Structure 1
Amino acid sequence: MTLTGIEAALNDLLFNDEITLQEAADRHFAPEYRQRTDGQWADRAEFLEHITHVRTLVAGGHVEVHEELYEELYGGGGKYADRHTAHITKKDGSTVSMEVYVFADLTPDGRFGRIEETTLMLRGSDADRGIGSAR
């Protein structure tokens, strides 16, 4: 089983022009995927709607992983946790940095099945505060 991680997933979703959004999603997120960001739940379709919107704003960036933990479970799947900072340069030239705390379930094939995350704005305008869940 190959396990995904936040850095690989976000790089493919936001910064890799070589693959489509659907290819990135299929690579890292199970069909039943759901996510809670700052208390707001989204199913996979809503999550992809969010990423589609963010892609219209992002010119480039990178993910800096500070801590990352995996636990494989007997019988397949696993648990994942990390603390990372997403550094984003928007198409208008402004920058956004968000520190994110993630707890997740991994499916038996190593993709994310569920993520619950909390975000902390480090740099950006007031309008950027909702970038983690904007659609």
Structure 2
Amino acid sequence: MSCLNFSDALRDLCFSQRLSVDEAMDTYFAPGYTHRNSGQAKTRAEFAAMAARAREQIASGEIQVLDEFRDGDRYSERHILDITNEDGGGERAEINLIGRYATDGRFLKINEAGFSREEAQDDAAR
């Protein structure tokens, strides 16, 4: 089984023009892929459409992987996501995800949850 990681998939989907969204989806995500973000499920097609919209809005982005774990077909990653949008706005978030690989080594399922790093820093300062 290959060792794909979600941060590379996100880079190719949203921050790079190296691959089209369809090519990135085919590289990293199995045909039956499902993506759940904070309890809301998206099909592979819905996730691809979301990534295409994000690609149009993002001027630049960086991902810092904090933790990553693989065990057979199971996968986990925790990363910091820094995004600068075309309109000058931005976001810094910590994302935690767990998932499974399909038999071909691409992602079959990802469950994700995260929080704004600015909100966490504001709470800590209080």
Fold-level similarity (TM above 0.5): yes
Amino acid at match of 1:95: G
Q: Does 1:54 align with 2:88?
A: no
Aligned-CA RMSD value: 1.3
**Pick from 106, 115, 118: which aligns with 1:120?**
115
Q: Does 1:110 align with 2:105?
A: yes
Q: Is the 8 A contact 1:95 1:123 kept in 2?
A: no
- Write the distance in 1 (CA, Å) between the matches of 2:81 and 2:28: 17
Report the counterpart of residue 130 of structure 1 in structure 2.
none
Report the counterpart of residue 28 of structure 2 in structure 1.
28
- Write the distance in 1 (CA, Å) between the matches of 2:9 and 2:59: 17
Identify unmatched segments of 5+ residues in structure 1: 73-77, 125-135
1:35-74: CA deviation from partner (whole Å, max 9, x where unpaired): 11011011101111111111121011111110000011xx
Structure 1 consecutive aligned stretches of length 4 or more whose deviation exceeds 6 Å: none
SS at match of 2:117: strand
Q: Does 1:94 align with 2:89?
A: yes
- Write the distance in 2 (CA, Å) between the matches of 1:123 and 1:48: 28
Amino acid at match of 1:84: H
Q: Is the 8 A contact 1:2 1:110 kept in 2?
A: yes
Q: Identity across aligned pairs (percent)?
A: 33
Report the counterpart of residue 18 of structure 1 in structure 2.
18
SS at match of 1:52: helix
Q: Is the 8 A contact 1:38 1:117 kept in 2?
A: yes
Amino acid at match of 2:37: T
How far has the Cα of 1:85 moved from its partner? 1.1
How many residues get paired?
Answer: 119
- Write the distance in 2 (CA, Å) between the matches of 1:36 and 1:98: 17
How far has the Cα of 1:24 moved from its partner? 0.5
Report the counterpart of residue 85 of structure 1 in structure 2.
80
- For the structure 1 residues 52 and 22, does the alpha-carbon distance in structure 2 shift closer, same or farther, using more than 3 Å as the test? same
Identify unmatched segments of 5+ residues in structure 2: 120-126
SS at match of 1:47: helix
What TM-score, normalized by structure 1, do the two folds share?
A: 0.84
